[in-house]
Amino acid sequence: MTTTADRPSDFKVVGTRPIRHDGYDKVTGRAKYGADVQLADLLHGSLLRSPHAHARIRSIDTSKAEALEGVRAVITSRDLPEKPTPPTNFMEMLADPQVLTQICLARGKVLYKGHAIAAVAATSKQIADAAIDLIQVDFEVLPHVLTAEEAMAADAPVLHETLRTKDPTAGADSGATNIAAHHQLKQGDIEKGFAEADLVVEREFSTKPVHQGYIETHNSTVLWGADGNVTVWTSTQGPFIVRHQVASILNLATSSVKVVPMEIGGGFGGKISCYLDPVAATLSRKTGHPVKIAMSRKEVFEATGPASGTNMRVKIGAKRDGTITAAQVNLVYEAGAFPGSSVASGAGTCLAPYKIDHLLIDGYDVVVNKPKTAAYRAPGSPQAAFAVEQTVDEITQKLGLDPMELRLKNVNRTGDRQANGVSFPSIGAKELEEAIKDHPHYKTPLGDGHKGRGVAMGYWGNAGMASSATLSVTSNGQVSLVTGSVDIGGSRASLAMQAAEVLGLTAEDVHPSVGDTDAVGYTGVTGGSRTTFSTGIAVLKAAEDIKDQMMRRAALLWETQPDDIQYADGAFVSKKNTEDRLSFKELAGKLMDTGGPVTASASSDPKQIGPSFAALLVDVDVDRETGKVTVERATVFQDVGKAAHPSYVEGQMQGGTAQGIGWALNEEYYYLDSGVMANSSFLDYRIPTSYDLPMIEPVIIEVPNPGHPFGLRGVGEASLVPPMAAVANAVSRAIGQRVTELPMSPGTLLKALSGDD
């Protein structure tokens, strides 16, 4: 593996590779996940789901289910408040309780196959499942639309009679529509830009919805106590988000809801929305018992949020020397049954690697009869990059230019304007592209066979948001750290390491844990590549406070002033008498004699966020007889600012690349004309295994982010952006023609090779 993080550093802890603090519990099975929650008098829940993609609910008869022995409660949307509290914007999703309520339990209409209609709580899961089968629903089946193209047709059935397009460029109300929103970004004069071009390439692209691929299914256990307080044990990326959603949907005070985040078996953005928690809470209130609901794999596929399917059109003009003069991008993203796709993110990121004076980007958010989409690692950006990066690659081919030379000629630098007009902060796009061009993989000949090499850039803006942390010094000189950030990719370790760096301790001296929503201050979702960055800043602030308090304690012992104490190499020393010296651990043993425990809490809400560029260089071999693509070599590059824990950074880069290769070659939600998902299991929805992947080599680039004291950038998402485009570029060069549809499965490639439309 190649990493610039192995070079000498001014840091003693940050940049090293300690064993993760939760590793022992994870590998021995002692870690507790949501499905492991067991409470006295626990009831089990099941949900009745729609067999239709679009239908009006005429009536629901629950009497037979209620009469079944062992059933304790049956609920429908009538048991949820009709008017939840107003929406709140939470980064990767608009947490509109009105929409979330209808996702939890359908009200009036079902809008996709798998839409929840009713729920049962019973003494066993088997009884709950049997009761579900006894609920009778009278449906009026309605016409449905499964793609954005169908939904935008003039005669398409409308999913929501009250939906109007949010469009700042539009005039009068055009009536009910499936187009929920139109986003536009514009700079310069697009017609002038194309007039200056010697070559214009225009292509259309399409992608299918894909799943995040987390192994643990959604689950929730809820106890609505007799005192009116609600406790939720759940698998989530954002316990404070769940707290807000549950309180809003059920019209409760936020302070009356406590969310206990369990260990999480993957999320990648798909475990931000709540699907089960308000339902389990309502069943618990009705029965007086705690209620657990866990989805089956089929339910996860049919009723939770995938990434958007898309239709895209890209038009780019360039001069003979490779200077890009203009770019026009049209993005149409499926939102699922309710508004809120990631099209705005796709629009804002798709041209980020390139300095282009004249551009026009239009994005459309379109509702269809599929489950509401959710975030998936850099939501919206991978699909748009698939289209833009292929068009750029085709330009390099037609102009006879080196792919990286063209990119370097047009690369955005610090201070250049983004598509939204805002200047880039400190970025490392140029350094990353130079690293690709100089890498042995880029220079190595491909060899014989139907082989192709592809490269693509990717960008994610990352997030800041609020976080909180609390540190406490123990009597033996170690430190307890509590944050509100759920640990998905090793953030316990990266946060502990930052505290240790400030305090002059080892990573093992800091004991990190994830608190519930009553144990620590508000903390944003583990998403947006923000946790090590933003929660890390809160940890650093608390650690500096701890250090200051410890210096005051040392001053008390030596009867001097805090300004006369210095702290270096893990020891407090008096400037006036250097013989007065105590290590951190020695001083910790004297705290009860100098005023009692030392604790510190701090919060962060950083505004100077460090965006990240990534790229993938990949070699493929295409079997022209079967259409099978074999990925033979893959090198992923990413500017991480500073790698807090290089091993986990490399793991994030490799994981994003692996997911992207699956998205490129195998993965899709396959719908029948009836609206039924035909591959709703991991037997039929094929994520890549180790047999499908080469060893993925990570190359860490470090251009420090001035918005973080240690220079950190978020690393979790950018690596998923380039793989689909990079693989497509490699495949296209191997077979001599563009493949514009995902996934590039054997059937798709054989169709392309045969010349069929």
Q: For 590-638, give the secondary structure using H, E and C.
A: CHHHCCCCCEEEEEECCCCCCCEEEEEEEEEEECCCCCCEEEEEEEEEE
Q: Are 9 and 80 in contact (CB under 8 A)?
A: no
CA angle 383, 373, 56 (to 5 degrees): 135
Q: What is the pLDDT of residue 168?
A: 78
Starting at the edge strand that comes first in sequence, how are the strands of the sheet with 599-604 ordered? 510-514, 479-483, 467-473, 599-604
For residues 573 and 558, give the distance between their C-alpha atoms in angstroms, rounded to a whole number: 10
**Hey, what amino acid is at 498?**
Q
Q: Are 752 and 739 in contact (CB under 8 A)?
A: yes
Neighbours of 366 (CB within 10 A): 31
For residues 87 and 104, give the distance between their C-alpha atoms in angstroms, rounded to a whole number: 16
**Hey, what amino acid is at 107?**
R
Q: How far is CA 175 from CA 180, 551, 553, in A?
A: 12, 67, 69
For the purposes of burial, counting CB atoms within 10 Å of the CB of 321, is it exposed (0-12), middle (13-18) or buried (19 or more)?
exposed
Alpha-carbon dihedral of residues 184, 190, 193, 197, nearest 10 degrees? Answer: 90
Within its chain, how far is the Cα of 25 from the centroid? 25
Q: Are 494 and 483 in contact (CB under 8 A)?
A: no
Q: Which of the 8 DSSP states describes residue 704?
A: -
Q: What is the pLDDT of residue 1?
A: 47
Phi, psi of 695 (to 5 degrees): -65, 125
- In the block, tokens 């003009």 appear at 317
For residues 629 and 580, give the distance between their C-alpha atoms in angstroms, rounded to a whole number: 68
Ranges of the chain with pLDDT below 50: 1, 4-8, 90-94
Domain 2-31+464-604, second-level architecture: 2-Layer Sandwich (3.30)
Residues paired with residue 75 on neighbouring β-strands, in sequence order: 119
Long-range contacts formed by 566-569: CB under 8 A, 24+ apart: 567/504, 568/504, 569/504
Bond into 168 cis (ω within 30): no
**Where is 541: in which H helix or E strand?**
helix 536-558
For residues 514 and 487, give the distance between their C-alpha atoms in angstroms, rounded to a whole number: 8
| Domain 380-462+609-754 in this protein, CATH class | alpha beta
Neighbours of 59 (CB within 10 A): 8
CA atoms within 13 A on the CB side of 577: 11
| 3-state DSSP assignment of residue 329 | strand
Radius of gyration of the chain (CA): 27
CA neighbor of 361 nearest in space, from 389, 329, 392, 334: 329
What is the maximal distance between C-alpha atoms in the chain? 87
**Hey, what amino acid is at 181?**
A
Q: Are 618 and 660 in contact (CB under 8 A)?
A: no
Give every CB contact of residue 132 below 8 A, 6+ residues apart in sequence.
46, 47, 48, 65, 118, 120
For residues 536 and 542, give the distance between their C-alpha atoms in angstroms, rounded to a whole number: 10
For the purposes of burial, counting CB atoms within 10 Å of the CB of 345, is it exposed (0-12), middle (13-18) or buried (19 or more)?
buried
623: its two tokens: 């079997």
Q: What is the pLDDT of residue 169?
A: 76
For residues 302 and 321, give the distance between their C-alpha atoms in angstroms, rounded to a whole number: 49
CA angle 436, 654, 6 (to 5 degrees): 65
Q: What is the pLDDT of residue 106?
A: 98
For residues 178 and 348, give the distance between their C-alpha atoms in angstroms, rounded to a whole number: 22
Give span(s): CATH 3.30.365.10, the chain: 2-31+464-604, 380-462+609-754
Residues paired with residue 619 on neighbouring β-strands, in sequence order: 453, 633
For residues 155 and 165, give the distance between their C-alpha atoms in angstroms, rounded to a whole number: 17
Helices (H), 260-309: 277-287, 297-303
Q: What is the pLDDT of residue 756?
A: 67
Q: Are 380 and 91 in contact (CB under 8 A)?
A: no
Within its chain, how far is the Cα of 539 from the centroid? 22
| 3-state DSSP assignment of residue 687 | coil
CA neighbor of 540 nearest in space, from 582, 572, 498: 498
Q: What is the pLDDT of residue 6?
A: 44
* CA 64, 67, 68, 71 torsion-angle sign: positive
